[in-house]
Amino acid sequence: MMKYRLIACLFPLMLLGCRGGDKQTKYDHNNTVASPKGADVIAVSEFDGFLQKFNCDSAFQMAHVKFPLKVVFGDDVKIDSIHYLPRNDWKYTKFKSTGPNIFEIQHLSETRVDMVYALEDSGMHINYYFDYVNKDWMLTYVKDDSD
For the chain, the C-alpha Rg in angstroms (whole number) is 15
**Higher local confidence (pLDDT), 129 or 25:** 129
pLDDT above 80: residue 25: no
pLDDT above 70: residue 5: no
Q: How far apart are CA 13 and CA 97, in angstroms?
A: 7
Strands 136-144 and 65-74, sheet pairing: parallel
Write down the mean pLDDT value for the chain: 74
Work out how many domains the chain is built from and give that number. Answer: 1
Q: How far apart are CA 22 and CA 32, in angstroms?
A: 21
Q: 35-54, pLDDT tens digit by residue? A: 344 434 454 568 888 999 99
Q: How far apart are CA 116 and CA 127, in angstroms?
A: 5
> pLDDT at position 3, please?
45
Q: Which domain holds residue 133?
A: 2-144
Q: Where are the beta strands (DSSP E) in the chain?
A: 32-34, 41-43, 65-74, 79-85, 101-107, 112-119, 124-133, 136-144
Task: Name which of 1, 7, 3, 142 is nearest 72 in CA terms.
Answer: 142
DSSP label of 26? S
Q: 59-113, pLDDT tens digit by residue? A: 999 999 999 999 999 876 777 899 999 999 999 987 776 777 788 889 898 889 9
CATH number, position 72: 3.10.450
pTM of the model as a whole: 0.70
pLDDT above 60: residue 120: yes
